[in-house]
Structure 1
Amino acid sequence: MKTSKNVIEKTRKKTEKNINQGDCVYLKNQEELFQVLGIDNAYEKCWVREWPLNANGSPVFEISIKQVSPNQ
């Protein structure tokens, strides 16, 4: 029987990029900056919003981690 520790470690290794909650990132084919609000490594998804925030707030949307590039 596998322990949850082994499952979590394997999931982390599958993630192509080192993206963390709170990071500012770019999306492929876009010049705007986005902030990562949440990450689901098991499904390779993350939730982002445009950064800096708009006066009325910025909508949050889900995107594949493969579509995200770290801000370096």
Structure 2
Amino acid sequence: MIHSKLLGNKNQKNNIISSENLYKGACVRIKNSNKTFQIIGLNIGKKICWVREWPFACDSKKTFALEISQITLQIFCSKQYSE
């Protein structure tokens, strides 16, 4: 199992995340959002990832593509699930 380090500094708002540190299943924050998202797919060559909101509802399949440059912070996923 791959474990991530918490990246970023609370005093630095415009963190840039390196694509080498990202992996499928990682939880991240993105620009212009206070929500947490989980990476469900990566295309490092095209610098794109696919994400979904975390925690996710089992009946929801809302995913979207995002440029990796839009990721501002990599965080640990909470073990709490939405009901």
Gaps of at least 5 residues in structure 2 are 1-16, 77-83
TM-score w.r.t. length of structure 1: 0.71
Larger gyration radius, structure 1 or structure 2: 1
Gaps of at least 5 residues in structure 1 are 1-14
Higher-helix-fraction structure = 1
Distance 1:16 1:38, change over 3 A: same
- How many residues align structurally? 58
Q: 1:16 aligns with which of 9, 15, 18?
A: 18
Three-state SS of the structure 1 residue aligned to 2:69 is: helix
CA RMSD of aligned residues (A): 1.8
Give every structure 1 segment of 4 or more consecutive aligned residues whose post-TM-superposition deviation is greater than 3 Å: none
Q: Is the 8 A contact 1:27 1:67 kept in 2?
A: yes
TM-score w.r.t. length of structure 2: 0.62
Structure of greater relative contact order (alpha carbons < 8 Å, 6+ residues apart): 2
